[in-house]
C-alpha cells in the first residue's frame, strides 16, 4: 500500500509478463482473498453487499504462441473461477489478444465492437457462452476513436483486443464501458473502463 493505493501483482522474475489489480484505499480494505495464480492470471475477491465482487485480471498469449497455450490459459481461468460462488459479481478483464469483431452474437457480443472476428476471438466468444458472460465494451456506441484499445507502434491500424467481461445476470448494472485514448498511462494500450452501481459498499468502477 502506498499513496492511498494497493497494487496486487502476479508475475515472473524476469518481469516480461505480469498482471495486476490496483485498488484505492477504501476498496483495498475490503479484500478478502488474493490468488496470484501466474504471470497471466490473478484473482482478487472483495467483500461487498449484496454479493461479493471477484476481479480476475488476464493476459492472454499473443499470436506468436500456439492455440494450445491459449486453451491452457482458458482451462486455468475456468478452474480459478469455478472455485468461487456462482452468485458473486464476476469481472474478468484484461488483454485477451483477440478480436471479437463488430457483429452482434447473441447475448455475449454487441454490435459496437471493432474489426472482424479472428480465431482467437472465436475462442473468447466460446468462453463467454460457456461462462454466460458478456463483453461489455462491445455493447455501447462510442465515438470513432473510442472502440480501439491498441495499435502497433508505427502502424496506423487500430485494434480492439482488451475487454471487460461480466455475467449476463448483472448486465443491467453496467451503465457504460469504453476505452479512453489519451489517458495518462505509460502503455501502448488504451485504458478500458466500465461504470456500474451494484454494491452499497463498493460503487462506480472497477
User: Residue 167: what pLDDT?
Assistant: 96
State the residue range of the domain holding 93.
Answer: 31-196
Tell me the C-alpha distance between 180 and 192, whole Å: 6
Predicted pLDDT at 37: 95
Q: How confident is the model at residue 41 (pLDDT cuts 50, 70, 90)?
A: very high
Per the domain annotation, does 107 fall within a domain?
A: yes
d(CA 113, CA 95): 15
Query: Average pLDDT for residues 90-117, to the nearest whole number?
Result: 95
Res 93 pLDDT > 50: yes
> Do 30 and 48 contact (CB within 8 A), yes or no?
yes
In the predicted structure, residue 82 carries a pLDDT above the cut 80: yes
In a domain, 133, yes or no: yes
Is residue 11 one of the residues assigned to a domain?
A: no
What pLDDT, on a 0 to 100 scale, did the predictor assign at position 176?
A: 82
pLDDT of residue 142: 80
Instruction: Residue 71: count other Cβ atoms within 10 Å of its Cβ.
Output: 13
Decide if 24 is inside a domain. Answer: no
Banded pLDDT at 148 (limits 50, 70, 90):
confident
pTM of the model: 0.85
DSSP assignment, residue 7?
A: E
Residue 12, in any domain of the structure? no
Dihedral sign of CA atoms 86, 91, 36, 16 in order? positive
Beta bridge partners of 42: 57
| Counted domains in the chain | 1
CATH number, domain containing residue 64: 3.60.10.10
Q: Give the pLDDT of residue 175.
A: 87
Q: Is residue 76 part of a domain?
A: yes
pLDDT of residue 191: 58
Output phi, psi for 187, to 5 deg: -155, 155
pLDDT of residue 147: 77
Give the tens place of pLDDT for each residue, 149-202.
Answer: 877 776 678 889 999 999 999 999 998 887 766 544 545 556 555 555 444 333
**Measured between alpha carbons, how far is 128 from 167 in angstroms, rounded to an integer?**
9
For residue 21, is it within any domain? no
Average pLDDT in the 24-53 region? 95
Angstrom distance (rounded) from CA 114 to CA 99: 8
pLDDT at 125: 98
pLDDT at 143: 75
Asked, for residue 8, whether it belongs to a domain, the answer is: no
Amino acid at each position: 500500500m502506498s499513496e492511498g493505493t494497493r497494487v496486487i501483482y502476479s508475475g515472473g522474475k524476469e518481469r516480461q509478463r505480469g498482471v495486476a489489480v490496483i485498488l484505492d484505499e477504501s476498496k483495498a480494505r475490503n479484500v478478502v482473498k488474493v490468488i496470484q495464480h501466474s504471470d497471466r492470471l490473478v484473482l482478487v475477491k472483495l467483500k461487498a453487499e449484496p454479493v461479493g465482487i471477484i476481479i480476475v485480471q488476464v493476459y492472454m498469449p499473443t499470436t506468436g504462441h500456439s492455440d494450445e497455450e491459449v486453451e491452457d490459459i482458458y482451462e486455468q481461468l475456468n478452474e480459478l473461477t469455478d472455485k468461487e460462488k456462482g452468485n458473486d459479481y464476476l469481472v474478468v478483464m484484461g488483454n485477451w489478444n483477440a478480436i471479437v469483431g463488430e457483429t452482434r452474437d447473441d447475448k455475449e457480443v454487441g454490435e459496437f465492437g471493432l474489426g472482424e472476428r479472428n480465431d482467437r476471438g472465436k475462442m473468447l466468444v466460446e468462453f463467454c457462452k460457456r461462462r454466460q458472460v458478456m463483453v461489455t465494451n462491445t455493447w455501447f456506441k462510442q465515438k470513432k476513436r473510442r472502440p480501439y484499445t491498441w495499435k502497433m507502434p508505427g502502424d496506423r491500424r487500430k485494434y480492439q483486443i482488451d475487454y471487460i467481461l461480466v455475467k449476463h445476470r448483472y448486465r443491467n448494472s453496467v451503465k457504460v464501458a469504453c476505452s479512453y485514448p489519451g489517458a495518462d498511462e505509460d502503455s501502448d494500450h488504451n485504458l478500458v473502463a466500465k461504470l456500474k452501481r451494484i454494491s452499497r459498499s463498493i460503487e462506480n468502477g472497477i
